[in-house]
């Protein structure tokens, strides 16, 4: 029994094979801009890997999934289960599933080991668990999913928060920092993404152009240059957003950040600015401060987590 799993983001795609009880194997990573469609990419993988005997397939997609069909939010790629099934040498009883990529990460939480997570903040106010957790993806785009642990397995809810309007506490801070240019940051994704980091850099540098990975690679808190200002401003905004997410979802099981931008910021000295914003009452004063203290913050540091979650999702159906 062999399952093909894929994690299709706005920039990269990962494909691998998983056997029951076994680890991920034959994993490959592709840049999406080298392919006209997911089906062309899938064909390339099949040229170099033996797909005979496939019993199923699960594809995690960075976009909403409805009735066996999906479309990427940040790339014009479409998906449907029937076409994927036709493209694969599935056994007669094999099936294909599509799932949102954040939902796949939500399903992965129960299967992640400690070495696949980095703790940024522990729970400082232990109390009864409500079995709720949250995954927040910050990479090419932004999104979240809520996870509720139950005796029957996790219940994971899909969302598209990246396209919702930013809360006033963020917009007001951006207005102070960026003046009228803050108007370009209208949604979560406009700010909290690789493209959002590039926009911040352009503003603080007076027109400079750098990609998100370039800005993160150049970040050095000892040099008070545009990269440092952009990264630390995003870290503060991410902390403010995390604070809002605590009250929106009460994830006593933790907020788990995923994605290259989240790892780049929270794995750097800028994590101090994130924590200051998360804990600072000046940012968002209000009651129930103990909720902030109770929620641990972790980073999913394994790029294969969504593949693990896709496999676990498929095996629950």
pLDDT in tens, 292-307: 989 999 999 998 999 9
Domain shared by 91 and 65, yes or no: yes
Where in the sequence is the domain holding 83, given as residue range(s)?
2-106+304-316
Say whether both 160 and 259 belong to one domain.
yes
Same domain for 309 and 277, yes or no, is no
**68 and 121 share one domain:** no
Phi, psi of 207 (to 5 degrees): 115, 5
Q: How many CB atoms lie within 10 A of CB 94?
A: 18
Q: How far apart are CA 174 and CA 237, in angstroms?
A: 8
Angle CA 91–108–27, to nearest 5: 55
Inter-residue long-range contacts of 200-204, CB under 8 Å, 24+ positions, other chains counted = 200/230, 200/233, 200/234, 201/226, 201/227, 201/230, 203/178, 203/230, 204/229, 204/230, 204/233
The Cβ-side half-sphere exposure at 152, using a 13 Å CA radius, reads 4
pLDDT, position 288: 65
The C-alpha atoms of residue 59 and residue 79 are separated, in whole angstroms, by 9
Helix/strand/coil (H/E/C) assignment for every residue in 30-55: EEHHHCCCHHHHHHHHHHHCCCCCEE
Q: Are residues 28 and 101 in the same domain?
A: yes
pLDDT digits (tens, 9 = 90+) for 114-124: 999 999 999 98
Q: Residue 283: what pLDDT?
A: 45
The answer on 213 and 168 residing in a single domain is yes
88 phi, psi to nearest 5 deg = -115, 150
265 with 139, same domain?
yes
CATH number of the domain where residue 38 is located: 3.30.420.40
**Cα(85)–Cα(106) distance, integer angstroms:** 25
Would you say 87 and 39 are in contact if contact means Cβ atoms under 8 Å apart?
A: yes
pLDDT beneath 70, residues of the chain: 281-288
Nearest CA to 102 among 130, 141, 149, 131?
A: 141
In our burial notation (b when 16+ CB lie closer than 10 A, e otherwise), range 157-177 reads ebebbbbeebeebbeebbeeb
Q: What is the end-to-end Cα distance of the chain in Å, rounded?
A: 15
Determine which helix (DSSP H) or strand (DSSP E) holds 248, and give its type and residue range: helix 226-249
Residue 306: how many other CB atoms lie within 10 Å: 31
pTM for the model stands at: 0.93
159 in the same domain as 210: yes
Distance of CA 174 to the CA centre of its chain: 23
CATH of the domain at 159: 3.40.367.20
- Contact by Cβ (8 Å): 126, 246: no
Quick one: 99 and 200 in the same domain?
Answer: no
3-state secondary structure of 251: coil
Strand (E) positions, 160-271?
Answer: 255-258
With a CB cutoff of 8 Å and minimum separation 6, the contacts of 148 are 131, 132, 154, 155, 156, 157
pLDDT in the model for residue 281: 52
Query: What's the pLDDT at 230?
Result: 96
Residues 125 and 174 in one domain: yes
Whether 83 and 151 share a structural domain: no
Q: Return the sign of the alpha-carbon dihedral for residues 152, 247, 143, 113.
A: negative
CB atoms within 10 A of CB 17: 20
Residue 85: predicted pLDDT: 95
176 in the same domain as 51: no
Domain count, the chain: 2
């Amino acid at each position: 029994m062999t399952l093909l799993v894929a994690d299709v983001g706005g920039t990269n795609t990962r494909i691998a094979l998983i056997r029951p009880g076994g680890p991920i194997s034959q994993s490959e990573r592709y840049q999406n801009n080298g392919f006209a469609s997911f089906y062309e990419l899938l064909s390339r993988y099949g040229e170099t890997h033996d797909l005979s005997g496939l019993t199923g397939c699960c594809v995690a997609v960075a976009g909403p999934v409805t009735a066996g069909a999906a479309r990427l939010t940040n790339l014009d790629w479409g998906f449907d289960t029937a076409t994927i099934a036709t493209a694969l040498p599935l056994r007669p009883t094999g099936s294909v599933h599509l799932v949102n990529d954040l939902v796949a990460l939500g399903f992965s939480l129960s299967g992640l080991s400690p070495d696949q997570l980095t703790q940024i903040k522990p729970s400082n106010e232990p109390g009864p668990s409500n079995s709720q957790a949250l995954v927040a993806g910050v990479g090419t785009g932004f999104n979240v999913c809520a996870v509720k642990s139950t005796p029957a397995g996790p219940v994971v809810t899909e969302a598209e928060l990246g396209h919702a309007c930013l809360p006033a506490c963020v917009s007001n801070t951006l207005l102070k920092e960026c003046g009228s240019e803050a108007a370009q940051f209208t949604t979560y994704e406009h700010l909290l993404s690789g493209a959002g980091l590039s926009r911040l850099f352009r503003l603080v540098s007076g027109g400079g152009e750098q990609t998100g990975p370039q800005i993160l690679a150049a970040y050095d808190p000892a040099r008070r240059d545009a990269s440092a200002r952009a990264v630390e401003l995003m870290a503060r905004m991410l902390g403010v957003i995390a604070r809002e997410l605590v009250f929106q979802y009460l994830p006593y099981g933790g907020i788990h950040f995923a994605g290259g931008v989240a790892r780049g910021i929270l794995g750097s000295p800028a994590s101090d600015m994130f924590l200051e914003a998360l804990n600072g009452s000046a940012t968002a004063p209000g009651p129930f401060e103990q909720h902030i203290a109770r929620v641990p913050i972790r980073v999913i540091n394994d790029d294969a987590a969504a593949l693990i979650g896709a496999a676990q999702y498929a095996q629950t159906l």
